[in-house]
Chains A and B, each alone.
Chain A
């Protein structure tokens, strides 16, 4: 049986991978994927502690967090499509000015 510390270590590894993606990648969609990986690591931590305490509030928080992440992805992809329409590019280094 896996212990609590194993789940938390996997969550830390996922956060490190997500930060690597945010730092290195310049493609806007890949940065969004990195953000999703980090958000999932946070959810994993919430559910792991919820199981270990045990307390149902961690799972309730994880459910809220998943729903908020879905909303964030919708808005993020809308922004990426608008930026692509303006610049014909989804490289974040090319978005030099905020004006249309």
Chain B
């Protein structure tokens, strides 16, 4: 069966994901999400993909979790504590989760994947040089489009979050006060 390192990382990842959804304070939820992402990065290291693991840590722990923490800080704290989920809805959600888990698990264990390409020791790990080469040759148009998408989405987020009423109403009130 699986080795203790795998089991430890699995418990950390799934446990932190559940904590991220169930903890009462949203800011601890964001921190638990960062821990869960670190666990996924640990899985990538176990899968001999250190480049993807470092990318995961840089993007998810370094950017996404911090961004969520900033959004939590911008939102009024009282809005974060209103938990209006009823017990029936939560019970149905847990039942759905268990059904998905058991059916997916049974399906996977019954499928031909079980033990087919099982042993990772037989094959050599992928070199990160190969990833870089593929990204800059075959996938270079995708890389360019991805960069444009990222730039566009960041500009769109800034345009969405920009307050247009600050200068106009502030100036208007000032003018109003001056005339009064």
A binds B: yes
- By a beta-carbon cutoff of 8 Å, the part of chain A in contact with chain B is 1-10, 12-21, 23-27, 29-30, 32-34, 36-37, 40, 43-44, 47-48, 50-57, 59-60, 62-64, 66-75, 77-82, 84-85, 88-91, 93
CB under 8 Å from chain A, chain B span 88-128: 89-90, 92-94, 96-98, 100-101, 104-105, 108-109, 113-121, 123-126
Known A-B contacts A14-B17, A59-B52, A90-B79; A5 and B96 likewise in contact (beta carbons under 8 Å): no
Known A-B contacts A5-B108, A6-B2, A66-B56; A50 and B126 likewise in contact (beta carbons under 8 Å): yes
Residues A47 and B2 in contact, CB atoms below 8 Å apart: no
Residues of B within 8 A of A47 (CB): 43-44, 47, 49, 52
Residues B101 and A13 in contact, CB atoms below 8 Å apart: yes
Q: How many residues of B contact A (CB 8 A)?
A: 88
Residues of A within 8 A of B82 (CB): 91
Residues of B within 8 A of A34 (CB): 21
A1 CA to B48 CA, complexed, in Å: 12
Residues A77 and B36 in contact, CB atoms below 8 Å apart: no
A72 CA to B59 CA, complexed, in Å: 12
Partner of A59, one of B49, B74, B101: B49
A50 CA to B163 CA, complexed, in Å: 45
Cβ-closest chain A residue relative to B107: A12
1/0 contact trace for B121-147 toward A, CB 8 Å?
Answer: 101111000110011000100100010
